[in-house]
Amino acid sequence: MIIPRGHASRQSGIGLIEILITLLIFSVGVLAIAGLQAVAKRNNYDAIQRTTAANLARFIVSSMRANPQGRAGYLVPENNPLGSRGGSSTLDSNCLADNCSPAELAAFDLHEWEQALDGASDVVVEAAENGGTRTIQTGGLVSPSACVTGPAGGGAGFYTVIVAWRGITQLDGSDTAVDCGAGRGLYGRVRGDGTALDDSTAYRRYFEFRTYIAP
């Protein structure tokens, strides 16, 4: 049977349109999946950071409850927070092996807390492009800041622990209710080369834990 030329051309055109529509639908589906993966990755990051911050806050509160005589030594003002590699790497006393006074134990606990905030013990050493090695932090928080406020003498009362970190997405940066970590240049916008563009708190996230500690 002989098929007219015009009819064959129409069939070819319809087939090509169907292929293009299929490709378009497939492309939209791929983009949607990629978008969902990005959202899931961001949410997973935020969840891990928040869980880590909550555990770290509870850790220091437990330490304070266990050391009532040295409780005043755990206070960390919001204008001088711990974290982001800001602490001392050595201590006069290792309270895991030595007998420590309440004040020494408080200093030791804060040191250990800051090391955990920074993920100092959770690192991986891998080969670098220049032939050497580089150390990558795998634990702790991203750009952490931690503060502890409460009764000045360390007595009974309400204590507030704030643990802040740098999130992935930008917020409006108008949260001024909490000062912990503000003004450190850790949570503002950055340029493409990684240098600070401003000193806002647009990327700051924080976990706040307020509890009553008896004498």
Helices and strands (H and E) in the chain: how many: 2, 5
Q: What is the pTM of this model?
A: 0.73
pLDDT in tens, 151-183: 999 999 999 999 999 998 888 766 778 999 998
Name the residue among 87, 76, 53 with its Cα closest to residue 179: 76
d(CA 3, CA 43): 59
Q: Tens digit of pLDDT for each residue in 81-118?
A: 999 866 555 676 788 877 899 999 999 999 999 999 99
- Identity of the amino acid at 121: S
First to last CA, the chain: 101
| Every domain of the chain and the residues it spans | 5-84+142-213
